[in-house]
Amino acid sequence: MAARIEDYALIGDCETAALVDNRGSIDWLCWPEFSSEACFAALLGSQENGCWSMAPADGEWSTTRKYREHTLILETTFHHAQGVVKLTDFMPIRERFSDVVRIVECLEGTVSMHMELRLRFDYGRTVPWVTRIPDGIRAVAGPNLAILHSPVKVRGESLATIADFNIAKGERKTFTLTYGISFEQDPDPIDPEQALKDTENFWIPWTSQLKYDGRYRDIVERSLISLKAMTFRPTGGVVAAMTTSLPEAIGGVRNWDYRFCWLRDTTFTLLALTNGGYYKEAAAWQDWLLRALAGSPDQVQIMYGLKGERQLAEWEVDWLPGYENSRPVRVGNGAAGQLQLDIFGEVLDCFFHARESMNVHGKSDFRVLALLLRHLEHTWQKPDEGIWETRGGPQQFTYSKMMAWVAFDRAVKIAEKLGFHNPIERWSGLRDKIHAEVCEKGFNTRRNSFVQSYGSDELDASLLLMPQVGFLPGSDPRVRSTVEAIERELMSDGLVLRYNTSCVNDGLPPGEGVFLACSFWMVSSLIAIGRRDDARKLFERLLTLCNDLGLLSEEYDTKRKRLVGNFPQAFSHIALVNAAFDLQNDENKRSRNTGCGAD
């Protein structure tokens, strides 16, 4: 059985990543890329679906763990009656091939250790053909190749590769698993000790660039390391998470594949990176976005693959029982075909802030955006599936209309900067028209609050972003009353739900955890309405939900006191970083409403 979600740690090479539990088992790894088929899928099934464990051979033992300072190098220490052993896990930043390196070092005594490698390609289904090599094994399944190199003698047993060995104080044993292509030349073995030095020399200079110097520096740094680890280095695309189908409610059906790049995340990601001082990554993210948008405006999707792929067909992996029997396990994401009008505002907002903070994008890039805006002029009045990708049919979502306003607002500002005169008057008129409509139809006078959709009585946490995007200032009484209504009615145990799944028809059975990104948005909204002390208290409460390594999933189950949803979740960590900058009140920090709307 898989560990609790919060018991996992992230290691990665900026092209894919693995999850290691607190007992030394790697239970999830997709090779060679984030969205490839998993070769370790015990996370969503059992050991028979693939894992790689390393632990004391017998007796009772406990573990402590930490990341090596300023890096993504994981150190798990086993405390056993025989002695103390440290397991160092990492993935070197990739050159041509991807490697997982495990170094076992005895710190005290002499400890008997047990290693068990179960490779199962094709999401835990396919047992590879394994042959011996002088220092390990070679495993092949179709195009997939994995080679284990180690000075420790291994043997085959019950479709697994096993090693039992004793390790004494001062000794180090290394294990390296390398992915290759079965019909090409085998990758050369790497030097694991040199790889460790190289990996440390990559991460430490990178983290030293961080511009945040506030009281939450450690957790901000860890969040940005996680975000970097979930960035596909060849293209700059940022995956929402490196897992699929970790449930939003244990035993439920809200299980989605998040190994793709969402346009919804664009501006949030850009600001987290630029405020943090990571302009190279922010520019690469912008370049990814521009390439993904290429093509006809009426074919723009809400999400794309790591390289900008559009075909993300959703299917169910029926041989995996799911995390704690939460079925189905899904691969691909059917929401890619939905209409979500908010993405137009996200894209324009992202380009606006990229131009203002990094002086990128000229007239040629803006012509691409102008085509999107021409399309939006004819579609903004349509109902859509909204930011939360509901499957209960399109509606007139208030947030979608608000983000259509953002699109035209930012378009006017960009056009003025670039000297585009022709469309400004038309776009300004549309901006004003949408603003007036949202204030009239999206505000429920009886509830004294903006609501999820026109004519609805239901609240929606996305409306917390109203002051952040500059639609209305925090001083507006409608904003204050909306924030307070969400605080009263959409907070469970002091944390924010996206909406009430028991009352809203989203096409799925009710039930999910509190949404962590929305809870961080509440921090920024409380600041906007002048409640900075309450905002800080909420922020510090949210930090207690991070696991022992500073990682967050998408949601939190307040009854079970457990992280739920895909893990680690980029959206949660991005929201954490942006809220930390909002609390710092740094005049050099750029917010979403800087130079916009109600700012």
409 Rama sector, left if φ>0, alpha if ψ -120 to 50, beta otherwise: alpha
- CA 460, 464, 468, 474 dihedral sign is positive
Quickly count: other Cβ atoms within 10 Å of residue 129's Cβ.
11
Contact present, 139 and 59 (Cβ < 8 Å): no
20 Rama sector, left if φ>0, alpha if ψ -120 to 50, beta otherwise: beta
Task: Report which residue type is found at 453.
Answer: S
The pair of three-digit structure tokens given for residue 227, joined into one six-digit string: 């975000």
Question: What's the pLDDT score for residue 391?
Answer: 85
Quickly count: other Cβ atoms within 10 Å of residue 425's Cβ.
10
Q: Confidence class of residue 210 from pLDDT cuts 50, 70 and 90?
A: very high
Residue range 310-339: average pLDDT? 96
C-alpha–C-alpha distance, residues 332 and 362, integer Å: 35
Same domain, 463 and 541: yes
Q: Which of 170, 205, 240 is the last residue of a domain?
A: 205
pLDDT digits (tens, 9 = 90+) for 452-490: 999 999 999 999 999 999 999 999 999 999 999 999 999
Assess whether pLDDT exceeds 60 at residue 598. no
C-alpha–C-alpha distance, residues 473 and 488, integer Å: 21
451 Rama sector, left if φ>0, alpha if ψ -120 to 50, beta otherwise: beta
Residue 589 placed within a domain:
no
Residue 452 placed within a domain:
yes
Q: Confidence class of residue 171 from pLDDT cuts 50, 70 and 90?
A: very high
Question: What's the pLDDT score for residue 445?
Answer: 97
Same domain, 186 and 304: no
Same domain, 271 and 319: yes
Residue 222 placed within a domain:
yes
Residue 155 placed within a domain:
yes
Question: What's the pLDDT score for residue 599?
Answer: 41
Residue range 108-123: average pLDDT? 98
Same domain, 219 and 198: no
Assess whether pLDDT exceeds 80 at residue 318. yes
Where is average pLDDT lowest: 268-277, 289-298, 355-364?
A: 355-364
Give the three-state DSSP class for 523: helix
Question: What's the pLDDT score for residue 597?
Answer: 54
Residue 548: which residues within 8 A CB-CB, separation 6 or more?
A: 6, 65
Q: Confidence class of residue 358 from pLDDT cuts 50, 70 and 90?
A: confident
Same domain, 407 and 266: yes
Q: How many domains does the chain have?
A: 2
Residue range 96-102: average pLDDT? 97
Phi, psi of 216 (to 5 degrees): -110, 30
Q: Which of 205, 239, 266 is the last residue of a domain?
A: 205
Residue 507 placed within a domain:
yes
Q: Chain centroid to CA 488: how far? A: 28
Bridge partners (DSSP) listed for residue 467: none
pTM here is 0.96
Question: What's the pLDDT score for residue 595?
Answer: 60
Same domain, 269 and 373: yes
C-alpha–C-alpha distance, residues 327 and 236, integer Å: 32
Domain hosting residue 440, numbered range: 209-584
Same domain, 58 and 128: yes
Contact present, 212 and 275 (Cβ < 8 Å): yes
Residue range 215-241: average pLDDT? 98
Same domain, 392 and 441: yes
The pair of three-digit structure tokens given for residue 474, joined into one six-digit string: 């925090």
Q: In this structure, are strands 172-181 and 144-149 parallel, antiparallel, or unpaired?
A: antiparallel
% of the chain exceeding 70 in pLDDT? 99
DSSP3 helix / strand / coil % (the chain, rounded to 5): 35, 25, 40
Same domain, 409 and 549: yes
Question: What's the pLDDT score for residue 54?
Answer: 98
Assess whether pLDDT exceeds 80 at residue 81. yes
Residue 599 placed within a domain:
no
C-alpha–C-alpha distance, residues 238 and 349, integer Å: 17
Residue 261 placed within a domain:
yes
Which CATH number covers residue 513? 1.50.10.10
Q: Confidence class of residue 179 from pLDDT cuts 50, 70 and 90?
A: very high
Q: Chain centroid to CA 129: how far? A: 34
Assess whether pLDDT exceeds 80 at residue 160. yes
Assess whether pLDDT exceeds 90 at residue 22. yes
Question: What's the pLDDT score for residue 501?
Answer: 86
% of the chain exceeding 90 in pLDDT? 88
Same domain, 277 and 250: yes
Contact present, 304 and 310 (Cβ < 8 Å): yes
Which CATH number covers residue 109? 2.70.98.50
Same domain, 368 and 286: yes
pLDDT digits (tens, 9 = 90+) for 372-411: 999 999 999 999 999 988 888 999 999 999 999 999 999 9
Same domain, 271 and 159: no
Residue 597 placed within a domain:
no
Bridge partners (DSSP) listed for residue 394: none
Q: Which of 149, 184, 205 is the last residue of a domain?
A: 205
